[in-house]
Amino acid sequence: MPSRRGGLATLALPRGAAMNQLVELVVNGVSLGCIDALIALGFVVVFKATRVVNFAYGSLLLLGAYVVGRYHEPLGFAVAVLLAVVVTAAVAIGVGVVLLRRVRLADPGTLAILTLGVDIMLVTELTRRIGTDLLTTGDPWGAEVVTVGSVHIAQTRLAAAAVAVVVVAAFLIALKITDWGVALRASAERPATAALMGVRLSRVASGVWLLAGALAAMAGLFLTAFPSPGISGTVGLAALGAAVPAAVIGGLDSTTGALVGGLAVGLTATLAAGYQDHLAFLGRGFGGVAPYLVMLLVLLARPTGLFGSREVTRV
């Protein structure tokens, strides 16, 4: 985050400084957007394949961050991250397959509330376990800041961006060429037909929940690393608060949309926070609400998000 300057002082700054601030905000916004894209991807991929709005996603993220925070000291950072990914993916599969399969035929609203029940329990238990401890991720990047020219960015954010690019690229390739990817796309398009053609919907669903869990763990790690204060029970709600506008802006069943939406949310939030002196008439903390305003505007223009598939009405 840039240093806060007085409103009039910023207005009177020479053009170069204003430009620098803009570049710095955009760079930081994009790096935050990469994390948001990871979050949104996990949210969207579950919806795309199973039509479940996964409200437990925030607590899965918190779980990932918690495991890293609790075990990075005895196990070392890398092993702790691996453990976090495995644990979170396992819990996600548990939720997705064991719990939701029983009521697979119910309407999506019921399923969404079911995931909310899971979310309430997980968040309560994790918040209790965290208690008053100050958990940090213990990542090797620490509080280092990279300076290029006059642009400052935290190393964790660079790492996050790199990981996000690799993970997303791998996912998109897998979606394109692997059997599992083809099966996922087929079952998203026509579940009944896909099942008749020999696609095992249950296997696709497990894969999707596993992926969502793994993504949640990684996003949880980066969301709680350096510029943010640490791991607390509110991380889950914050993550859901980013995932929802990102997923809706992009379109709930579009993976491309999740990436675009994530970047849009990261940029909007960072820019609104960075220029809040100019936006003082909109009130303090406007950065947190700005993505929702963008979401509402996008929905007004395109009711199923930018890349979401349009609903066809059949009679």
Partner 1 sequence: MSDRLSARSIWLAAWVPVAVLALAAPLSLEGFWLQTGLFAMAAAIGAIGLTLLVGTTGQLSLGHAFFVALGAYGYAFLAGPRDGDVAGVGLPAPLALVGAVALAGAAGAMFSPIAGRLRGIYLGLASLGLVFLGQHILHNAASATGGFNGRDVAPFEVFGFSFTATDPELVILHVPYGGLERLWYLGLLLVVLAYWYARNLLRGRPGRALVGVRDSEVAAAVMGVDVRRYKAAAFTVSSGYAGLAGVLLALAFGRIVPDTFGFVMSIDFLAMIIIGGLGSIAGSVAGAVIVTTLPLVLSHYSDALPFLAQPGESGVGAAEAARLLYGAAVIAVLLFAPGGLAQLLRPSRPSSANQGTGTFDRRRSSPRDQQGASP
Residues that bind partner 1 (CB under 8 A): 47, 51, 53, 55, 99, 102-110, 112-114, 116-121, 124-125, 127-128, 131, 191, 237, 241, 244-245, 247-248, 252, 282-286, 288-289, 292-293, 295-296, 299-300, 303-305, 308, 311, 313, 315
Q: C-beta of 140: minimal distance to partner 1 in Å?
A: 32
User: Shortest CA distance to 255 belongs to which of 220, 217, 208, 197?
Assistant: 208
Least separation in angstroms between residue 114's CB and partner 1 is 5
* C-alpha span between 208 and 52 (Å, rounded): 11
> Closest separation between CB of residue 115 and partner 1, Å?
9
Of 114 and 271, nearer to partner 1 (C-beta) is: 114
To partner 1, the closest distance from the beta carbon of 67 in angstroms equals 20
Sole residue written with tokens 């548990």: 94
**Minimum distance from residue 146 beta carbon to partner 1 (Å):** 32
Query: Rounded to the nearest 10 degrees, how much is the dihedral formed by the CA atoms of 45, 136, 162, 50?
Result: 0
What are 87's strand-pairing partners? none
* Token representation of residue 269: 């939030």
Which tokens belong to 200? 């095992």
Nearer CB in complex with partner 1: 83/122: 122
CA gap 203, 214 in Å, rounded: 17
Residue 80 or 260: the one with the smaller Cβ distance to partner 1 is 260
With 0-12 / 13-18 / 19 or more C-beta atoms within 10 angstroms meaning exposed / middle / buried, residue 13 is middle
Q: Give the dihedral sign, CA 309/242/143/68.
A: negative
- To partner 1, the closest distance from the beta carbon of 7 in angstroms equals 16
CB-wise, 86 or 112, nearer to partner 1? 112
Residue 75: strand, helix, or coil: helix
In the bound state with partner 1, the residue whose beta carbon lies nearer, of 64 and 250, is 250
- Closer of 61 and 167 to partner 1 (Cβ): 61
